A and B are shown apart, each in its own frame.
Chain A
C-alpha cells in the first residue's frame, strides 16, 4: 500500500486503502502520489467542475481508454459535470478531401465515437461541452474567484487563474479527470497564496495597445513558467473586465501559455487579485522585463518559417484558437464585411473558418440575420479544434494561415496579425 507524505483525512485514507473499491482507490492514489511529488501538504475539495484536455480518440491511447472502462465499470463519475476540449474534425464546416477524411476517421481519431461515449458515462456535461473556452457564460463552466479547480487545457487554466481569480494548477492530461472523480486536488503551486506571487514585473512601454497574441508570446518566451505582474496594460484596457478586456486577456494568456508555460499572470489595476492586493503580489527579488514596440517586433520577426514554399497561396485560414467569444464573432463579421466591401468583393478569397464553442455558435446562429450575413461573406463557423485538425499529417502540410500564436507554435500554420489576416482573406495582401 502506498504510504503518503501529505496529511490525509480519515475519509481520504479509507479510500486510499481500498475501502470504497479498487477503481476509486487507484484514482485517489494517482492524485495523492501526484501531490506528493510536488510537495502538496494536503488535498482540498474541488469547488467547481473540471475541464479536460483530451477530446480526441486517438488509438495509441488504448491503455487510457481501458482505464476509462475501469472507472465506468465501477460506476464512478465526477460529482460536477465537466467540459472538454474541442473535437478534432468537423466535416460539415471544415471540409476535407476523401483521403484526409479517411485518415481522420480510420487512423488518427478512429476511437472518437467510443471515447465520447466513455466521456458521457463519467460525467461529461452534454454534447455541446466541447470547447477550450469553457469559461464563456454561454458554456457555463465559470468558476468563482478563489474556487479550487483541477483543469488541464493550458489556455483555460491561465484564464481561470488570472481573469477569474480561481485556482488551478496546469495539470497533466488524465490527472485532471482523476481529481474530478475523487472531487479533490492536491494543494500546491497556484492553489496556495505564495504560489501566486509574481517573480517578474512586465513594464509595458509600447506606443499603443499591442496585438494580444504578440504580447502574450513575448511574455511567455521571457518568463516561461513564472508568474508575471504586468504594468501599463490597464492604460489601454481600462480598469474594468468588460468583454473587450476579457477577450484581449483570453488571447494574450493563451499565447503566453503556449509560447511559454504561463499559468497565471496579474494585470495591474485590472485582474481581480491585482486590484485587491496590487504590488504586494510582487516578490522582492522579482526581475523586470520591459516591452516596447521594438521588442514586440523582435519577437514577431523571430518566428521560424515552417512552410516548404514561403510564397504558397494560403488554402485555409483559422481564426479562433482559443475559441472566439460572441463579441469577437460579431467583431470579425463586421470587419470582414467592411474590408470585403472596400475591396469590391462579395466573398472571402481564402477559405476562412471562425471557431467558437458550440453553445456560442448556437447563440450566434439564433440571430438569423447575423448568420445570413456571415454566410454571405463565405466564411464558415465551426467548433473544431484547429490544432487537432492540423495534427493530421495531410492537413498539416497545407499552407494554413492564422491569427493564433498557439496554433503557430504547435503546427506549421503561419501567424499574421489580425489586420494582415483581414487584408489577406478579403483579397488584399498582407
Chain B
C-alpha cells in the first residue's frame, strides 16, 4: 500500500530511501556530534533521549521528525555533516520547519553545494503513518510517498 502526503518543498529535490523516525523533537547536536567527532563513515544517532532514533544510521536516510530542538549550533552541525557527505538525504517535517534546521539546510546548499531535500508542514498524520525502515520517496513538488506493508 502507498500513502501520500503533501508539504512545502523548502529545499526542493527528489530522494528515496529508508525512513528513520523521530517522534519527538530531534536534537541535531546530541544526535550527530559523537560520530562526526569520531570521523565515522556513517553517522548513527547518539542521542539517548531519543529512543525512536537512537542507534539508527542517519547518513543518506530519510529523517522524519516534527522539528529540531536544542543548541543553536544545530544548524552548523547539519551543514558540517552535509559538507562531509554524511547528512540525511532528506528531512521531512510534520510541523513548519524551525530556524535551526532551516539555517543548516540553507547553509549547506549555498556554501557547500549540498542539497538536503527538505519538506515541511506534512502534518501529524504523516508522522503517525511512517515507521522506522519504511521505504519513502520524495518528489520535487513536496509530495512524499510512504510504502506501507
Chain A interface residues toward B at CB < 8 A: 26, 29-30, 33-34, 37-38, 53-54, 58-64, 66-67, 70, 107, 152-154, 169-175, 410
Q: How far is the CB of A112 from chain B (nearest CB, A)?
A: 15
Chain B interface residues toward A at CB < 8 A: 10, 33, 36-37, 71-77, 79-80, 82-84, 97, 99-100, 102-104, 106-107, 109-112
Q: How many A-B residue pairs have CB under 8 A?
A: 89
**Main SS of chain A's interface residues?**
helix
Asked if B10 and A173 sit within 8 Å, CB to CB, the answer is no
Interchain CA distance A152-B110 in the complex, whole Å? 20
Asked if A172 and B104 sit within 8 Å, CB to CB, the answer is yes
**A172 cross-chain contacts in B, Cβ below 8 A:** 72, 74-76, 99-100, 102-104
Q: How far is the CB of B114 from chain A (nearest CB, A)?
A: 9
**Main SS of chain B's interface residues?**
helix
Residue from the list B72, B99, B100, B110 in contact with A26, Cβ < 8 A: B110
Residue among A54, A59, A170, A174 with the most chain B CB within 10 A? A174
Interchain CA distance A59-B106 in the complex, whole Å? 21
Interchain CA distance A153-B73 in the complex, whole Å? 10
Residue from the list A60, A169, A175, A410 in contact with B80, Cβ < 8 A: A60
Interchain Cβ contacts under 8 Å between A and B, 28 examples: A30-B106, A30-B107, A34-B99, A34-B102, A34-B106, A53-B72, A53-B73, A60-B77, A60-B80, A61-B77, A61-B80, A62-B80, A62-B83, A62-B84, A63-B80, A63-B83, A107-B37, A152-B72, A169-B99, A171-B103, A172-B72, A172-B100, A173-B74, A173-B103, A174-B76, A174-B79, A175-B99, A410-B71
Nearest CB to that of A189 among chain B residues? B99
Asked if B72 and A37 sit within 8 Å, CB to CB, the answer is no
**B82 cross-chain contacts in A, Cβ below 8 A:** 63
Asked if A67 and B111 sit within 8 Å, CB to CB, the answer is yes
Nearest CB to that of A63 among chain B residues? B83
* Given A171-B72, A174-B103, A410-B71, residue A59 in contact with residue B37 (CB < 8 A): yes
**A63 cross-chain contacts in B, Cβ below 8 A:** 79-80, 82-84, 111-112
Asked if B10 and A37 sit within 8 Å, CB to CB, the answer is yes
Residue from the list A54, A70, A153, A171 in contact with B99, Cβ < 8 A: A171
**A38 cross-chain contacts in B, Cβ below 8 A:** 99, 102
Asked if B103 and A29 sit within 8 Å, CB to CB, the answer is no
Besides A53-B72, A61-B76, A174-B107, 9 new A-B residue pairs in contact (Cβ under 8 A), listed by A number: A37-B102, A60-B36, A60-B80, A63-B80, A64-B76, A174-B103, A175-B75, A175-B99, A175-B103
Q: How far is the CB of A192 from chain B (nearest CB, A)?
A: 15
**B36 cross-chain contacts in A, Cβ below 8 A:** 60
Residue among A54, A60, A66, A410 with the most chain B CB within 10 A? A60
Asked if B102 and A174 sit within 8 Å, CB to CB, the answer is no
Q: How far is the CB of A145 from chain B (nearest CB, A)?
A: 24
